C-alpha cells in the first residue's frame, strides 16, 4: 500500500526504530525537509501539498530539549527578519494528567452539551481534548470558562512546564500560555506549542513532546520532542532581500579594440560582475543610442584611443559623467559600483 505522508514525525520514529538508533546514542537529533500531503480544504496558506522542515530529539526528557527546539525556531525567524510572532504554549500532561483532565472536561461539557456543535458533541465521547480546539463561535463561548489543564497537572508535568519557560525567558523568546492549545495530532504528551504571527489563526510552526510514540510504534520507552515549520507559510512572511546584479554595457569601436577587449571583459566576468557585450560594429553615437534605448546606466567603451592608453572609458548615462579606468583596475572599479548600488538599495 502506498500513502502520501501528512507529516514526518511518525516516519522519523519508524526510521529511528528500524535503524535501532537508540542502541548507538543516548540522545539522537534528526532533521528533515520535504513535501507533506493533507486532505485539507484548500485556502490561503492551507494547501494539499506543502513543505515542512522539522527536527526531532530522541532520548531526553529534560524540558531544556523542548526549549532548545523552540529557540532554534526563534533563531530561524529572527534570521528571516520575521517580526511580531509569538509562541503559544500549553501542556497536555502525561497519561495520568490526560485521563484526569479528560474526565473533568467531559463533566463540564456534558452539562453544556446542547450549546456545542455537532462535531464537538461526538468529540466529548471520543476525544474530548479536541473540543478545546473548536473554532465554532457557540463552542468558543462555552469554552471561555472551561477549567484549564494547569489546574490539575501532576507535579512532574507542572515542573516540566515551569522549567521550560525559564530558558525561553532568558533567551528573550516571546511566548504566552494558551490553555486551549491541544494540537491536531494525538501523540503529544506534556509540552505543546505553536508559532503564530500577529495574532493570526494559522500557525507557521508547531510541535511538542511525544513521550509515548516510540513505544507505541513498537520500540522501547524513549521520550522525544520535535517541531515542524511550514515552509510555504514562512515564505509568505519573508520579503526577499533583492541584491541587484547591475548591468554594465560594453561597446567596442573597431576590430582591434574588440579582439583585445574580449579577453579583459571575460576576466572581469569571472570575478562575478555581469557585463553585457554587444559586438555589433557601430560608431560611438549609435552605441550610446542603443545604451539609452536599453535604459543602461553604466557603459564601458573601448576604442583605439583607449586601447593605446590601456584604459576603458566609463560613462554613467544617468548621472552624466565619465572617467577613464585602467585595465588593471577595472574589476575593482566595477565591484565598487555594485557595492554602492547594494548599499543604496538597503
Binding site for ligand HAM (CB under 6 A): 7, 9, 38, 40, 45-47, 50, 52, 54, 56, 184-185, 203-208, 226-228, 230, 232-233
Q: 203-209 and 224-230 as β-strands: parallel, antiparallel, unpaired?
A: antiparallel
Nearer to ligand HAM, 45 or 59 (CB): 45
In the bound state with ligand HAM, the residue whose beta carbon lies nearer, of 236 and 271, is 236
Rg, the chain, Cα only: 31
Task: In angstroms, give the least distance from the CB of 156 to ligand HAM.
Answer: 20
Measured from the CB atom, the residue of 96 and 184 that comes closer to ligand HAM is: 184
Minimum Å distance from CB 232 to ligand HAM? 5
What is the C-alpha separation between 319 and 322, in angstroms, rounded? 9
Q: Which is nearer to ligand HAM, 60 or 207 (CB)?
A: 207
**Beta partners for residue 46, in sequence order:** 43
Question: Residue 241 and residue 233: Cα distance in Å, rounded?
Answer: 18
Least separation, in Å, of the C-beta of 46 and ligand HAM? 4
User: CB–CB of 244/291 below 8 Å?
Assistant: no
* 95/304 with CB nearer ligand HAM: 95
The set of cell numbers assigned to 106 is 467531559
C-beta closer to ligand HAM: residue 54 or 223: 54
d(CA 230, CA 44) in angstroms, rounded, equals 13
Shortest reach from residue 42's CB to ligand HAM, in Å:
8
Neighbours of 305 (CB within 10 A): 12
Give 85 or 314: the residue with its C-beta nearer to ligand HAM. Answer: 85
Q: What is the DSSP string of 299-346?
A: EEEE-HHHHHHTEEEEEETTTTEEEEEEGGGHHHHHHHHHHHHHHHH-
Q: Which is nearer to ligand HAM, 205 or 258 (CB)?
A: 205
Q: Smallest distance, Å, CB 144 to ligand HAM?
A: 24
Output the residue with the shortest Cβ distance to ligand HAM: 230
State in angstroms the smallest separation of the CB of 55 from ligand HAM: 8
User: Angle at which helices 118-126 and 95-110 pack, to 10 degrees?
Assistant: 140
- Considering only CA atoms, which of 186, 228, 212 is closest in space to residue 13? 212
Q: Which residues of 244-255 are buried (b: 16+ CB within 10 A; e: fewer)?
A: eebebbbbbbee
Is the CB of 34 or the CB of 184 nearer to ligand HAM? 184
CB of 6 to ligand HAM, least distance (A): 7
**C-alpha 146: how far from chain center:** 34
- Write down the least CB distance from residue 142 to ligand HAM, Å: 25
CB of 145 to ligand HAM, least distance (A): 27
E strand residue ranges, the chain? 28-37, 49-58, 85-91, 175-177, 191-197, 203-209, 224-230, 248-252, 275-278, 298-302, 311-316, 321-326
How far apart are alpha carbons 99 and 15 in whole angstroms? 30
Amino acid at each position: 500500500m502506498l500513502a502520501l505522508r501528512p507529516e514526518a514525525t511518525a516516519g522519523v520514529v519508524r526510521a529511528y526504530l528500524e535503524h535501532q538508533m537508540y542502541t548507538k546514542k543516548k540522545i539522537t537529533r534528526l532533521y528533515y525537509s520535504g513535501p507533506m500531503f493533507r486532505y485539507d480544504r484548500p485556502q490561503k496558506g492551507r494547501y494539499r501539498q506543502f513543505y515542512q522542515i522539522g527536527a526531532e530529539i530522541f532520548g531526553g526528557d529534560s524540558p531544556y530539549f523542548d526549549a532548545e527546539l523552540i529557540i532554534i525556531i526563534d533563531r530561524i525567524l529572527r534570521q528571516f527578519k520575521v517580526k511580531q510572532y509569538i509562541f503559544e504554549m500549553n501542556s497536555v500532561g502525561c497519561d495520568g494528567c490526560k485521563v484526569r483532565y479528560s474526565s473533568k472536561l467531559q463533566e463540564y461539557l456534558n452539562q453544556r452539551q446542547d450549546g456545542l456543535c455537532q462535531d464537538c458533541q461526538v468529540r466529548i465521547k471520543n476525544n474530548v481534548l479536541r473540543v478545546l480546539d473548536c473554532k465554532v463561535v457557540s463552542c468558543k463561548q462555552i469554552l471561555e470558562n472551561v477549567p484549564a489543564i494547569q489546574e490539575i497537572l501532576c507535579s512532574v508535568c507542572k515542573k516540566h512546564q515551569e522549567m521550560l519557560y525559564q530558558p525561553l525567558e532568558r533567551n528573550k523568546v516571546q511566548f504566552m500560555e494558551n490553555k486551549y492549545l491541544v494540537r491536531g495530532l494525538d501523540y503529544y504528551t506534556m509540552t505543546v506549542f505553536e508559532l503564530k504571527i500577529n495574532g493570526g489563526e494559522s500557525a507557521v510552526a508547531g510541535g511538542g513532546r511525544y513521550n509515548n510514540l516510540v513505544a507505541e510504534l513498537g520500540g522501547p520507552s524513549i521520550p522525544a520532542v520535535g517541531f515542524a515549520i511550514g515552509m510555504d507559510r514562512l515564505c509568505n512572511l519573508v520579503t526577499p532581500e533583492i541584491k541587484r546584479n547591475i548591468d554594465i554595457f560594453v561597446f567596442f569601436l573597431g576590430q582591434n579594440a574588440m579582439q583585445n577587449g574580449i579577453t579583459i571583459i571575460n576576466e572581469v566576468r569571472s570575478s562575478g560582475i555581469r557585463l553585457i557585450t554587444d559586438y555589433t560594429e557601430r560608431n560611438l553615437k549609435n552605441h550610446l543610442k542603443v545604451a539609452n534605448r536599453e535604459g543602461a546606466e553604466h557603459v564601458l567603451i573601448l576604442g583605439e584611443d583607449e586601447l593605446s592608453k590601456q584604459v576603458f572609458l566609463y560613462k554613467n548615462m544617468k548621472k552624466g559623467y565619465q572617467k577613464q579606468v585602467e585595465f588593471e583596475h577595472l574589476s575593482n572599479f566595477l565591484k565598487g559600483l555594485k557595492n554602492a548600488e547594494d548599499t543604496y538599495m538597503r
